[in-house]
Amino acid sequence: MTQDEMKQAVAQEALNYVVEGTIIGVGTGSTANFFIDALATIKDKIKGTVASSEATAQRLKSHGIKVFDLNEVTKISVYIDGADESDEGLNLIKGGGGALTREKIVAAVANEFICIADASKLVAVMGAFPLPVEVIPMSANYVTREITKRIGGTVTLRDFTTDNGNLILDVSDLKITHPKALETELNSIIGVVTNGLFANSPADVLLLGTPNGVRRVTA
Ligand code: 5RP
């Protein structure tokens, strides 16, 4: 089974978590794209979606799926999105695609977060994947110095502007043994919008695509 086939399998499985007649939060990235394509097959059964990025909104619309602005809705039944890394506690690193802040906002509104990923994303200790941190542009150098001083790692400015008009710092060379504390510490630095750790509010369910089928992981 290829990596894409494993992503497709979890995307298809995630349809079982879609609550009929409700609004669904939809994530960003290649796995989320497979989910969008699967969601299109049952689009008449849902009220609509909220997208975590402009790219996702475009793909949803291209399938004729209704996209609501988050400020138009009060309830999202379920949020479905990929991840860059997960540990067995369902703490995640997200933001490889740069959509971490909107992803965290939509996930916060949703009743349940179903993470979909291929088996390569599950690790014992997170940190091999550089941790994305979205920052207000004028604060980038200051935040870089503060992360280096307070946390360590190697900080690199990504050549990318987020949908919110901000910048991304990628922090590599970390061993994330205390993800909740690190998420909180990074968010306390002035200039940080948010970081890609989903640990204080982790996923509720991880659907992991393996060569032997979909494994359902819960904390
Ligand atoms: C985007 C994300 C994605 O969920 C993450 O990068 C995983 O992407 P893919 O499904 O392409 O592996 O957080 O900001």
Residue 85: its pLDDT value, please? 98
Q: Looking at residue 219, what is its pLDDT?
A: 85
Out of 94, 116, 166, give the residue to mutate to test ligand 1, the one with the largest number of ligand atoms within 8 Å of its CB: 94
pLDDT mean over 29-57:
98
* Ligand 1 centre distance from Cα of residue 11 (Å): 13
Q: What's the pLDDT score for residue 193?
A: 98
* Catalytic (active site) residue 103: yes
Global pTM?
Answer: 0.97
Q: How far apart are CA 131 and CA 153, in angstroms?
A: 10
**pLDDT tens digits, one per residue of 53-101:** 999 999 999 999 999 999 999 999 999 999 999 999 999 999 999 999 9
- Give the containing element (helix H, strand E) for 140: helix 140-150
In the reported structure, the alpha carbon of residue 94 is separated from the centroid of ligand 1 by a whole-number distance in angstroms of: 6
3-state SS record for 166-181: CEEEEEECCCECCHHH
**Which are the contacts of 91, defined by CB distance < 8 A and separation ≥ 6?**
126, 176, 179, 180, 197, 198, 199, 202
